[in-house]
Chains A and B, each alone.
Chain A
């Protein structure tokens, strides 16, 4: 048996050019040492029916034994405000905010605190195990508590406040429901005896949505993370009554001329960044940790706009989660400067160890080597779909979502990686998953081990794409790797040096700069082969400055595993709308002739040739393929080349007038299930056995200046290339088109 998780790691940055340095961050709970080897990945799929794991070792300076240590991960987002004389020296004070709890009961969650858990001193306002507001103040010996009489409701806005009145010798909590109809009213106040004076801790940051542990470990500085939204938190140097608390929190711009206003955070400022801004004039700005969701609707959101860019004052909330993770923060165990002569490709650290009892450890840490920055080394570029890899990173759907077995039409397959993920949720979620509070995960970061982006990983995306690399190596066709992030940052410049660019099995997530780059490339004579399905589908953004981070908001249509909340479908990174590209005026058909129509997870199908395939203009593509040959009635993914997720041409969605429909797989069967945006109302007859719009189309068209597009519209395509010793018609058609596309002669 092979253990793929005894040691885990991530490379940073995810992609480098020769001459640049990549660092490797590793952790093992069980191993003290492993053997390390850098490998170039040819095939990452362990399936014995295919080529198997195939890597080559270029022999690197860091190959050899490596000592390992355990580096834990501490998920949970919060805002941390550095300590100040004012925060440390508070006498009477009030903290208030609007609160929208999203996971109540069963756990203590801190809303705001200046607290040191180790020494049990400071103050903290919490939601307790029964969802009651609870204020605690303590000085390391004595402790005072006050608890609200009524529990809060999940997903209902409430004004939540705490007052410490040393002058009056009381402490109090106050809550006021914004909606008071239908049994929702939880308004109430509780007051208890408090001290006349108290010594607050020194050198203690103020934390929102968590509390300080008091530990001298930056990664473990906080605990008791909140699940929910906080809007307009305020800190005021007086014990206010209920009416004045309401006015203080509600004011969008509390007057900074008021000397008692210690902090008034406006989360609608700098939404694209990691800083929270204080309006008080005291510069109590804070830093957000582990990427909580910004651009969240505030308590005052009234639906007049769905975009924070239009009504920013209605987006003064941040949604915190106890399972947010953006950066594990592990120390680097090794650094590698990539030698100038290493060919571009998918690379990985291979970590091996023997543990006895027939178990051997074989774990990979992936990274990508692109071409040198100043030149291409081949006329062909293969896109590493890193945005899609990130979107799917550590997907827990098969563990958490009951639709998976039904969608899969069979028992859920659980790999060793899935077993590990099940018990190690601190590795963080994919953008397919929902947080522990049920809300959708909209960010993903590469600064953590990603188990399904490496050799021996679950078969989708990364692993499937290596079947294309394997086939190119087999054909002896050299290629460079260009990552999605390169294209996002550099635009068409990243593609321009290449005569042909191939996008792989599932280039699903595209930012606007990426789509622009492809359009520009194709229309300037570039030739694009799209050998996948469900591509160019979701509109995402890469973080404008931080590398290796993407964001998607799923909205309310498309094949989606969660639905975006009303008003929360604008990207916080850029202010752009998210959702489907089809909903953003740029359906995939416009770029590559075909676009997503259906999922097929029971069995894959074959294509049959159509009339256009006999046109002499595309004779180059069908050399060696008979007129009645079924194309791709084989393959590693459910026995065919047309399957999993499939795309069709449609002129009304932008397929160009000169498109040639070469082949189609339109006999898909009852397991072909159309995506929601493909029908107007529900009705019978939608499935593939009755619906010819559930199909995969192979298309070709010329763009301009000698450019062209060839698309196969199916995720399963690349996994059929190696069938029968690479001697098959999927391989033949792909090879015919690629060789012709590499030939600079214009098309007839």
Chain B
């Protein structure tokens, strides 16, 4: 059967490539360099158990971070203390969580300098 394998995304992420972090931080929606595209593909394809998602609170205006359920039929978890008025900030929040999960390095919470 044709299946999506989250473990298939295995591009090695170099924890020292803070230039890629900076590139993403400045423009979460791209366009991105080849190297950053690969980092993002790894993060997005593999995701995490209970993948992060962006819940639309008010279309075009307000979003909240959420997590998918472990199994079909479950509730989507709402992370009520993570509400965004710019989806780019949400992209950054998930990027930094994933960067930390993969490299062990902590990135600052703030996207804007």
Contact = CB atoms under 8 A, between A and B. Distances in A.
Interface of A: 1, 46-49, 398-403, 405-406, 409-416, 418-419, 422-423, 425, 436, 438, 560, 562-563, 602-603, 669-671
10 contacts: A1-B58, A46-B60, A398-B53, A406-B9, A411-B53, A414-B66, A419-B66, A438-B1, A562-B1, A670-B31
A423 B30 contact: no
B13 to A, nearest CB: 15
Contact of A414 (B53, B61, B91): B53
B60 A436 contact: no
Interface in B1-57: 1-4, 6, 9, 28-31, 37, 40-41, 44-47, 51-57
B107 interface: no
Given A406-B41, A414-B53, A49 B47 contact: no
A49 B60 CA distance: 7
A411 B91 contact: yes
Contacts of B60: 46-49
Given A402-B6, A414-B55, 19 more contacts: A46-B60, A48-B60, A398-B53, A399-B72, A402-B4, A405-B44, A410-B91, A411-B94, A413-B54, A414-B54, A415-B55, A419-B55, A419-B66, A422-B69, A422-B73, A423-B76, A438-B1, A562-B1, A670-B31
Contacts of B56: 413-416
Nearest to B34: A670
B88 to A, nearest CB: 9
A106 to B, nearest CB: 11
A464 to B, nearest CB: 14
A406 B31 contact: no
Contacts of A422: 68-69, 73-76
B51 A413 contact: no
B51 A402 contact: yes
Counting chain A CB atoms within 10 Å of each CB, which of B6, B60, B90 scores highest? Answer: B60
Contacts of A670: 31, 37
A563 B2 contact: yes
A399 B90 contact: no
A401 B72 CA distance: 11
B47 A47 contact: no
Give the 9 A-B residue pairs with the shortest CB-CB distance, closest first.
A563-B2, A411-B54, A48-B60, A46-B59, A406-B44, A405-B44, A412-B53, A406-B45, A414-B53
A151 B12 CA distance: 40
Counting chain B CB atoms within 10 Å of each CB, which of A400, A406, A425 scores highest? Answer: A406
A630 to B, nearest CB: 18
Contacts of B53: 398, 411-414
B30 A602 contact: yes
A401 B69 contact: no
B4 A423 contact: no
Given A46-B59, A438-B1, A562-B2, A405 B29 contact: no
Contacts of B69: 422-423
A579 to B, nearest CB: 14
A410 B29 contact: yes
A560 B47 CA distance: 21
Nearest to A398: B53
A398 B37 CA distance: 21
A422 B40 CA distance: 26
A48 B37 CA distance: 30
B57 to A, nearest CB: 6
A412 B72 contact: no
Contacts of A401: 4
Counting chain A CB atoms within 10 Å of each CB, which of B41, B55, B61, B75 scores highest? Answer: B55
A423 B73 contact: yes
B31 A669 contact: yes
Nearest to A689: B31
Contacts of B74: 422-423
